[in-house]
Amino acid sequence: MNPPAPPAHPPAAPARPAPAPERASAPKHAMPAPGALPAVPAGRSQSRLRELDLLRFIAAAVVMIYHFTGVPTGAWGQDARTLFHEISMVTREGLLGVELFFLISGFVILMSVWGRQVGDFAVSRITRLFPAYWFAVTLGLVIFLVTGIHSGTTGELGVARSYLPNLTMLQDGWHVPKIEVLYWTLWTELHFYVLIAILAAVGLSYARCVIFMTAWLLAAAFAVEGGGKMINTLLISGWAPFFIAGMAFYLIHRFGSNLILWLIVLGCYGLSTHFSVERPDEPFKWPGVDEWLIPTILAVLFLVMGLVATGRLRWLSWRGFTVMGALTYPLYLMHETVSRPLIRTLFPYYSKWTVLALAIATSVAASYLVYKLVELPAQRVLRPRLKAALAQIRSGDGGLKA
């Protein structure tokens, strides 16, 4: 503000300066207005959460080892649980790595969309998901054409006829067989992204998030009770507790502990234990053990996410965790694709442990190469072009915010 102009005639006595206005004192825990939320709560670091990178890599690694040693079918030509009987009773629980993925996703996706418009969120997800996915699907086709080896999930359509629909990532919706069975998790993630995009379109705020999470959890419970297939599909009812708990953990990380958020987390944990015990098909069940072991493992996963949310794992700050986090997605996508021909070729001639070690090493090395040679270059090309396309749409959208 410019100082006032001096008076035409000096006053008889110097004017007493006006006192500075008192600063309004907001209540200590006052809620900011919607749309005015701080980027990060006071006192919290804006640095990357490397502990989440580590957790993501662990989730991918345990799923990989589960697929190699804990399933009745696979590339070994026999039941891997019997072949690796020394460890399979432990590694079979790697199935729960998917639950950890969805917990982390609820946290990370809400963090990613906060402060963004829906279009920006869509661009970030497309550039993150599709380059490695397109490469993985194409690699699966090439391996099939060269060796005839495939996952065995494509049914009568065959790998070649399933290829183009699989590139869209929408194949589950169209009941097209997946080139790799693990792609089902991506379809589940897409359901979550749509729900988050709707929330972002309405407008993100602390209160709206809590209302959304509570309504989603209740609606999912009602949908399961009613048995409606469409509404259960839209709400991903079985997986909803994991995504919602992840969202609650992010809000705790962002705004601090809150009793309502912790109650939501506890409710999600209670529901998730039932779903995860019932989820495995018959060949994967462990009667008499699953009933207590799975809830125990889930309790550990929820506890670890609680430690992340409250900042108690910030000491896990090694820069290498960032690289490990970057390898997670291609490792998850490709470990079966790249290891299947290797296992079938080498296992008749080398010990199971040697081949297992080679399969793990090859999967990690392939994921690093895909990250460096496919993901990063593709993102550098794709992201600015998608942003330009989005800007063009916004320039002629008639006021609609995309």
- Assign 3-class secondary structure to 47-71: CCCHHHHHHHHHHHHHHHHHHHHCC
Classify residue 386: in a domain, yes or no: yes
The one-character DSSP state at 13 is: S
- From the list 336, 329, 383, 380, the residue with the least C-alpha distance to 360 is 336
Supply the pLDDT for residue 327: 97
Average pLDDT, the chain: 86
Residue 305 or 283, more confident: 305
Q: Is the pLDDT of residue 200 over 50?
A: yes
Classify residue 199: in a domain, yes or no: yes
C-alpha 142/C-alpha 129 separation (Å) is: 20
Q: Is the pLDDT of residue 287 over 70?
A: no
Supply the pLDDT for residue 160: 82
Classify residue 181: in a domain, yes or no: yes
Mean pLDDT, residues 78-94 taken together: 92
Classify residue 44: in a domain, yes or no: no
- In terms of average pLDDT, the best of 143-152, 184-193, 216-225, 392-401 is 184-193
Alpha helices in 114-182, H assignment, sequence order: 118-147, 158-167
> Looking at the chain, how many residues does it have?
402
Classify residue 33: in a domain, yes or no: no
Query: Residue 398 has which token pair?
Result: 């008639």
Supply the pLDDT for residue 282: 54
Domain limits for position 111: 50-390
Classify residue 24: in a domain, yes or no: no
Query: What contacts 35, CB < 8 A, 6 or more positions away?
Result: 203, 205
Confidence of residue 74 (pLDDT cuts 50, 70, 90): confident
Mean pLDDT, residues 378-383 taken together: 96
Tally of domains in the chain: 1
Classify residue 25: in a domain, yes or no: no
pLDDT digits (tens, 9 = 90+) for 212-262: 999 999 999 999 888 788 899 999 999 999 999 999 999 999 999 999 999
Confidence of residue 147 (pLDDT cuts 50, 70, 90): confident
Classify residue 81: in a domain, yes or no: yes
Q: Is the pLDDT of residue 12 over 50?
A: no
C-alpha 150/C-alpha 75 separation (Å) is: 9
Confidence of residue 402 (pLDDT cuts 50, 70, 90): low
